[in-house]
Amino acid sequence: MSNTVETAFAPVSFTETAVKELLKLKDQQEIADDFGLRVGVEGGGCSGMSYVLGFDQKKDGDQEFIIDDIKIYMHKAHQMYLLGMQIDWQDGLNSRGFTFSNPNAASSCGCGTSFSV
């Protein structure tokens, strides 16, 4: 497994509020430095594919990116579904949590956590 950090091009981006929330979560949960934020997709959800977002260790097939001082792990095969996506954090009365703005999604469910291509 390669330890190379890919920094030339990050397939996803984060808003400032998302970065602040992720750094706060990492600190509050005392997540070790060998963990990174896994961004990916998996089959399921009401639209066919669901987003994966959580701290995890690097696995075979992952590429590593540093985005806004956050170590990101993403499986190479997931990039085609997530290229250009922006992740945001909303903390309002009607909506609280991470949101995904994915230009590759042909449709998404009402809650915004699953999509189809």
Q: In angstroms, rounded to a whole number, what is the distance separating the alpha carbons of residues 89 and 73?
A: 19
Counting residues of the chain whose pLDDT is more than 70, the rounded percentage is 79
∠ CA(45), CA(53), CA(96), 5° rounding?
80
Instruction: Tell me the per-residue pLDDT of 20-39, one tens digit each, with 9 for 90 and over.
Output: 999 999 999 999 999 999 99
Q: Considering the entire predicted model, what is its pTM?
A: 0.81
| pLDDT reading at 43 higher than 90 | no
Mean pLDDT of the chain, nearest integer? 84
